[in-house]
Chains A and B, each alone.
Chain A
Amino acid sequence: MEHLHLSQGSYWILKRVIKLRIKPRICLECPECGSLIEEAPLAVCNECWGPLQVKQDYEAVKDSLKKREIKNREQSLWRYLELLPIKESRFIVNLGDGWTPLTRCQRLEKELGVRELYIKNDALNPTGSFKDRPASVGVSKALEFGFNVVGCASTGNLAAATAAHAAKAGVKSFVLIPGNIEPNKVVQSAAYGAKILQVEGTYDAANRLGILASEIFNWALLNINLRPFYVEGSKTLAYEICEQLDWNTPDRVIIPMGSGALLNSFYRGLADLEKIDFIDNSKDVKITGAQPKGCSPIVDAFHTNNRISPVKEPKTICKSLAIGEPASGKQAIKVIRETGGYADAPSDEEIIEAEKILASREGIFAEPAGAITLATLIRLIDNGVVEEDEKIVLLVTGSGFKSLEAAQKTVGKPVKIPANIDALREAVENG
Chain B
Amino acid sequence: MVKVKVFYTGPLKKLIGKTREEVNFNGETISELLREISKNHGETISKQLIDYSTGSLNEYVAILLNGQNVKHLQELKTRIRDGDEIIFLPVVAGGT
Contacts and interface: CB of A to CB of B under 8 A. Distances in A.
A397 B95 CA distance: 12
Contact of B9 (A152, A215, A230, A309): A215
B93 A261 contact: yes
Interface string B1-41: 00000000111011100010000000000000000000000
A212 interface: yes
A362 to B, nearest CB: 21
Contact of A231 (B62, B64, B89, B94): B94
B43 interface: no
B56 interface: yes
B78 interface: no
A43 B96 contact: no
Contacts of A47: 11, 48
Tier of interface size on chain B: 20 to 34
Contacts, number: 116
Interface residues of A, number: 51
Interface of A: 32, 43-51, 130, 134, 152-153, 155, 158, 203-204, 207-208, 211-212, 215, 222-224, 227, 230-231, 256-262, 307-310, 312, 320-321, 323, 325-328, 330, 369, 397
Interface of B: 9-11, 13-15, 19, 48, 54, 56, 58-62, 64, 69, 71-72, 87, 89-96
List 7 tightest A-B contacts by C-beta distance, closest first. A223-B94, A259-B95, A258-B95, A258-B96, A49-B60, A327-B93, A44-B90
Given A46-B15, A227-B94, A369-B96, 13 more contacts: A49-B61, A49-B90, A153-B94, A203-B95, A212-B87, A223-B95, A258-B93, A262-B95, A262-B96, A307-B56, A310-B69, A312-B72, A323-B93
19 contacts: A47-B48, A49-B60, A49-B91, A153-B93, A203-B95, A204-B93, A208-B62, A211-B90, A215-B10, A231-B94, A257-B96, A259-B94, A260-B95, A261-B93, A307-B59, A309-B71, A323-B95, A328-B93, A369-B96
